[in-house]
A and B are shown apart, each in its own frame.
Chain A
Amino acid sequence: MSGVRVLVGTRKGAFVLTADGKRKDWTVDGPHFPGWEMYHLKGSPADPDRIYASQSTGWHGQVMQRSDDGGRSWSPVGNEFAYDGVPGTHQWYDGTPHPWEFARVWHLEPSHTDPDVVFAGVEDAALFRSSDGGQSWQELSGLRGHGSGPHWQPGAGGMCLHTILIDPRDADRMYVAISAAGAFRTTDGGKTWTPINRGLKSEGIPDPEAEVGHCVHRIAMHPDRPEVLFMQKHWDVMRSDDGGDSWHEVSGNLPTDFGFPIDVHAHEPDTVYVVPITSDMHHFPPDGKLRVYRSRTGGNEWEPLTEGLPQKDCYVNVLRDAMAVDSLDDCGIYFGTTGGQVYASADAGDTWAPIVRDLPAVLSVEVQTLP
């Protein structure tokens, strides 16, 4: 019987949650790497037993882990992320030049076809690629070397490259997003990059419609319609119908359009999920009610999904990498909170139940649909 494996990264370790296709009864395995910050874990679409994990602490820096048996056992792989050439400077928070310094890996994106190929998005923002299962990493320096690089500034969480999307129809076509530089696209496998921020408006930066400088929190696409992109920006939920050439706002009737994650239903390219958060001053849900909002119209018209979620006194956050969807017939939706809860819905968001309630703060949630 088919099943799911949910990979959860937290502030103090990683957890692997498994269930059969009903997604009612769960097994919780962990913590793996106890005490370490696990920014992200992600399995290879080409080999579900191959999982990559980013492990770090302030004391000992970055470690990369790989599992070849579905997360039962792990082995450290290469952790040297050397910027290509002389790294140069980007802007610090106050606009002064600041040297590019590697801090950690935020996001891992395995190739759709080759389990040994994986991309890593790092802080300070850069994109690395490994073609040997994570043993060694090479920077795709055309991104950082884009002419706008010296003007990039960090978001409050650091200048991180947090989103990597690979076009399932053309692996040379990729999208990345950087806080707070914006979104970028390559069509040549990462050699050259184009900023794709036209239509974004960010109050609080000198030019609200600048080519770069936008605090993009997350981008999502449906694999059957990769030219359509959905974005949760710092403020504003946005949509592009032309692969990022232009964006238009689809926040519609959301109670607030600030938030972090955004994702798309596995079988319905116009069904989109966000978790509205009160504001950039108040990183918790409005009115103490944890509500996922779903649009079945590709944006603008949103409905709150509340059944099974706390509707009073809830002041957690849901971070940008902490939402995922499975691809079972009844699409499952998963998200984790900074309060340590991981919620699952086996009916596309109509009803929710916690898988676990008391993990460390959740940084990331990914799900693998198993045969």
Chain B
Amino acid sequence: MTTVRVVLPGHLRTLAKISGEVTVDVGEPATLAGVLDAVEASYPMLRGTIRSHGGGRRRDFVRFFACNADLSHEPPDAPLPAAVVDGSEPLLVVGAMAGG
């Protein structure tokens, strides 16, 4: 098991009644899908708000970043960057900026 830091967007922190980062324990190799599974297990109210129910498709206006890289289009079962796995960098779940 490894512990991964996750930064959620503001609306989801409010919904889950959390502040700051969350940490989740995931099996190795740590993957995006594994981290999201763990986040949803700890905070069931987030199911469907980051990715769809069932199919697990990323919502259109949600992106995943880590270590200055966009992971949004990586396969969900691809290993996360080493810096995320060792806890030195968080996984960022980002709501797309919109507005005028």
Q: Which residues of A contact B (CB under 8 A)?
A: 34-36, 57-63, 76, 79-80, 82
Instruction: For A59, list chain B residues within 8 Å (CB).
Output: 9, 11, 59, 61-62, 95-96
Partner of A60, one of B49, B53, B98: B49
B53 near A63 (CB under 8 angstroms)? no
| Complex-state Cα separation, A221 to B50, whole angstroms | 40
B49 near A80 (CB under 8 angstroms)? no
| Complex-state Cα separation, A59 to B94, whole angstroms | 10
Decide if B12 is an interface residue (CB 8 Å cutoff). Answer: yes
- Min distance, Cβ A305 to any Cβ of chain B, angstroms: 37
Enumerate 5 A-B pairs (CB-CB under 8 Å) in ascending A order.
A60-B95, A63-B48, A63-B49, A79-B53, A82-B53
Instruction: For B95, list chain A residues within 8 Å (CB).
Output: 59-60
A76 near B15 (CB under 8 angstroms)? yes
| Complex-state Cα separation, A340 to B40, whole angstroms | 35
Decide if B20 is an interface residue (CB 8 Å cutoff). Answer: no
B48 near A57 (CB under 8 angstroms)? no
- B1-26 with Cβ < 8 A to chain A: 9, 11-12, 14-15
**How many of chain B's residues have a CB under 8 angstroms from any CB in A?**
18
Count chain B CB atoms within 10 A of each CB in A57, A59, A61, A82 and give the residue with the most: A59
Q: Which residues of B contact A (CB under 8 A)?
A: 9, 11-12, 14-15, 45, 47-50, 53-54, 59, 61-62, 95-96, 98
- Min distance, Cβ B7 to any Cβ of chain A, angstroms: 15
Instruction: For A79, list chain B residues within 8 Å (CB).
Output: 47-49, 53
A57 near B53 (CB under 8 angstroms)? no
A60 near B47 (CB under 8 angstroms)? no
A60 near B45 (CB under 8 angstroms)? no
Partner of B48, one of A34, A58, A62: A62
Instruction: For A34, list chain B residues within 8 Å (CB).
Output: 14
| Complex-state Cα separation, A79 to B47, whole angstroms | 8
Residue of B nearest to A57 (CB): B11
B50 near A60 (CB under 8 angstroms)? yes
- Min distance, Cβ B31 to any Cβ of chain A, angstroms: 22
Partner of B15, one of A58, A63, A82: A63
Instruction: For B12, list chain A residues within 8 Å (CB).
Output: 60
A35 near B11 (CB under 8 angstroms)? yes
Instruction: For A60, list chain B residues within 8 Å (CB).
Output: 9, 11-12, 15, 49-50, 59, 61-62, 95
B54 near A58 (CB under 8 angstroms)? no
Instruction: For B45, list chain A residues within 8 Å (CB).
Output: 63, 76
B49 near A61 (CB under 8 angstroms)? yes
What are the nearest 9 A-B pairs in CB distance? A76-B45, A60-B49, A59-B95, A59-B61, A80-B53, A79-B48, A61-B48, A58-B61, A61-B49
Instruction: For B54, list chain A residues within 8 Å (CB).
Output: 80, 82
| Complex-state Cα separation, A58 to B50, whole angstroms | 11
Instruction: For B50, list chain A residues within 8 Å (CB).
Output: 60
Instruction: For B59, list chain A residues within 8 Å (CB).
Output: 59-61
Instruction: For B48, list chain A residues within 8 Å (CB).
Output: 61-63, 79-80
- Min distance, Cβ B39 to any Cβ of chain A, angstroms: 13
| Complex-state Cα separation, A34 to B14, whole angstroms | 9
- Min distance, Cβ B45 to any Cβ of chain A, angstroms: 4
- Min distance, Cβ A67 to any Cβ of chain B, angstroms: 15
- Min distance, Cβ A62 to any Cβ of chain B, angstroms: 7
| Complex-state Cα separation, A80 to B48, whole angstroms | 7
Instruction: For B61, list chain A residues within 8 Å (CB).
Output: 58-60
Count chain A CB atoms within 10 A of each CB in B11, B12, B62 and give the residue with the most: B11
17 further contact pairs, Cβ within 8 A, besides A59-B9, A60-B61, A82-B53: A34-B14, A58-B61, A59-B11, A59-B59, A59-B62, A59-B95, A60-B9, A60-B59, A61-B49, A62-B48, A63-B15, A76-B45, A79-B47, A79-B48, A79-B49, A79-B53, A82-B54
Residue of A nearest to B95 (CB): A59
Residue of B nearest to A77 (CB): B45
Instruction: For B11, list chain A residues within 8 Å (CB).
Output: 35-36, 57, 59-60
| Complex-state Cα separation, A59 to B59, whole angstroms | 7
| Complex-state Cα separation, A62 to B48, whole angstroms | 8
